[in-house]
Amino acid sequence: MLVLPPTTVVNKVVPKNSFDKYINTKQKKLFSEFIEKIRWANKLSKQTIRLEGKDVNEIQVFEISLKKKTAADDLLNIIDRHIPYHIIFVLLFENEVLYSVAQKHAHPVSDESSVLDWRFSSNWVNQDESLFRLNLKINLDEVFADFCLQITGKEKRQNQTLSQVIIIEQNRKLLLYEINKLEADIKGCKQFNKKVELNLKLQSKKAELEILN
């Protein structure tokens, strides 16, 4: 669990119906099915930790107690889009925890919503074994970027900017999609020459993925 200064503590329950005006009936059902409670745990800002940021003005920490074990990306995206500040989600299920955070920017035409660039999520771990931490140094932009980079679990990426890491992750996702499609095409291909061509493409894509990994 995250250890933060007492000055950051908010400890307020956020009613699930706070988001009703942004969601449809199916999404309301998902909120009810998966989420037990949303707690606004901490607020990191100039007032609470004396750090400012250029792109990140505040960082909120939301603890979400779950009824079922799920990463709940769709539900987190709804919350993230309609709260203008960057949010670190701490998902809790029994004795396990998962951290999820999205890089986002203001919507160009709507003041009430944000555009999500990429979501970083950790694996589920025992609450007592979690090693993630918020390093409250330099400014809020650095605090946020550092936490996102921790979640990637890639030591070699610690010297890269958050924007660079997002581009890498986007390319990685695309390559995985292309690899899966090629493998399916190869499985269904009956022509020898075509299968050889597809295999060459597959090996090339796997080599690109290995470089990113």
Query: pLDDT tens digits for 169-207?
Result: 889 889 999 999 999 999 999 998 999 999 999 999 999
Which of 128, 153, 178 terminates a domain? The answer is 153
Give the number of domains in the chain. 2
Residue 179 lies in domain: 168-212
Q: What is the pTM of this model?
A: 0.85
112 and 181 belong to one structural domain: no
Is 146 among the domain residues? yes
Spatial contact of 125 and 105, defined as CB atoms under 8 Å apart: no
Q: Looking at the DSSP assignment, which residues form a beta bridge with residue 122?
A: none
pLDDT at 15 over 80: yes
In percent, the amount of the chain with pLDDT more than 70 equals: 97
Q: Tell me the pLDDT tens digit for each residue of 84-138.
A: 899 999 999 999 999 999 999 888 887 778 999 999 999 999 998 888 999 999 9
The alpha carbons of the chain give a radius of gyration, in whole angstroms, of 20
Closest Cα to residue 212, out of 151, 138, 157, 159? 157
- Buried-state track 166-191, b at ≥16 Cβ within 10 A, e below 16: bebbeeeeebeebbeebeeebeeeee
Whether residue 94 is contained in a domain is answered as yes
Q: What is the residue-averaged pLDDT of the chain?
A: 91
Per-residue DSSP letter, 160:
S
**Do residues 10 and 52 share a domain?**
yes
Residue 141 shares a structural domain with residue 184: no
